[in-house]
Amino acid sequence: MTVAPHFKFNNGVLHAEDLSLAELADTYDTPLYVYSRQALRDAWEAYRIASEGRDVLVCYGMKANSNLAVLNEFKNLGSGFDIVSGGELARVLAVGADPAKVVFSGVGKQVWEMKAALEAGVKCFNVESEAELTRLSEVAQAMGKVAPVSLRVNPDVDAKTHPYISTGLKENKFGIAIEKAVQVYQHAATLPGLNIVGLDCHIGSQITEVSPYLDALDKLIALIKTLASHGIHLKHLDLGGGIGIRYTDEKPLTPSDLLDQVFKVLRQHQLESLQIVLEPGRSLVGNAGVLLTRVEYLKHNEAKNFAIVDAAMNDLVRPTLYDAWHSVEAVQPRQEESSVYDIVGPICESGDWLARDRKLALQQGDLLAVMSAGAYAFTMASQYNTRPRAAEVIVDGATAHLVRPREALESLYSSETVLK
């Protein structure tokens, strides 16, 4: 049975911390996202311990889960933020986070987004192309500002993960090829309105080994030394995020596993003065959440048994998009003979499934918990088939906080008009 530490059975019922998930479903209906506040804190603590005594800035990769309550929690714990849009910047500012601890990533920054980030005073723009450098220089000049920049370099390192979440190979859209990096840095140094401050790299997501990071680090250190020989001296090295979590039987590395090795290499090359920036997302929130869903119908045919539930691919698209595995647990397991089911939703797409070939004892009306749904669940949710997005609840001990209500059906089309 794969259950995250903060979701445990008590008297035969799965709980989030001290609250029954069955009671939460009765109170807030389903589908429902439920997060554990203590899980967020414990995940952050692993990064805090790993960073102790070292110059490390942890910037939460908020695309994983951008609920304001989650952002505020990490802000209060001391986190910076990794953003990829002007909208995410607005969320960060809405919780009163320090813009000087914000790094702005992403391949397609628009002018209005650059202006907003310059006005706010972000720590750094992670620039991903020469065209972006030119545009940022022009925008900063026009505003009378200086934009702090690092270049996101693509080291052509295989993160050994799903191709859709691997970002450090030559064929990926991200970053600047490492072979061109010196030339682009030299060009950046000639552009007005820019201040070169760092080097950025992000090779992928759901990484469970330290070796891809170290392979990338070797290439980055060689680049840092070459840049220094050309008079370009950096203040920080951003290694991105990507540390994986346990969805089934993975054995992920810890923040200490990574940082211990990184600082060992930096010492060998006398580069300990560099600040290290990390951008964890999934590893901070992934196992802090579940998606609750209720069985609407059981359907049996010659080839398959289907449990048709009220959650769908619009609530959790990862299985459809990445063929991702999420453990599925009965909130109140039955002591009956199990059958093998595909867990599918009501959306009119064959790709609408949450789990396949799961052995469960089920009856209509049973409640299921799709585990490890704290990351890339609600943030990737849609309103496809005119389905209101589900509510979000954070559990703190024996108290539940509704941090985002379920969308009202009318709100989905209230801003639309018809032609006369």
d(CA 173, CA 129) in angstroms, rounded, equals 10
**What single-letter DSSP state applies at residue 253?**
P
C-alpha to C-alpha distance for 417 and 187, rounded to whole angstroms: 49
Q: What angle do CA 276, 39, 257 make, to 5 degrees?
A: 35
Question: Cβ atoms within 10 A of the Cβ of 303, count?
Answer: 5
- Give the CA angle between residues 246, 335, 32 to the nearest 5°: 50
59, 124, 201, 348: which is the annotated catalytic residue?
Answer: 348
Cα–Cα distance for residue pair 304/145, rounded to 1 Å: 62
CA torsion sign, 327 to 328 to 330 to 336?
negative
Contact between residue 263 and residue 187 where contact means Cβ atoms under 8 Å apart: no
Give the separation between CA 81 and CA 66, rounded to whole angstroms: 11
Q: Are 407 and 389 in contact (CB under 8 A)?
A: yes
Phi-psi group of 403: left, alpha or beta (phi > 0 → left; psi -120 to 50 → alpha; rest → beta): alpha
124 belongs to the catalytic site: no
Cα-Cα end-to-end distance for the chain: 58
Q: What is the DSSP letter of 12?
A: T
Strands of 7-10's sheet in order across = 7-10, 13-16, 19-20
Q: Which residues are catalytic?
A: 348
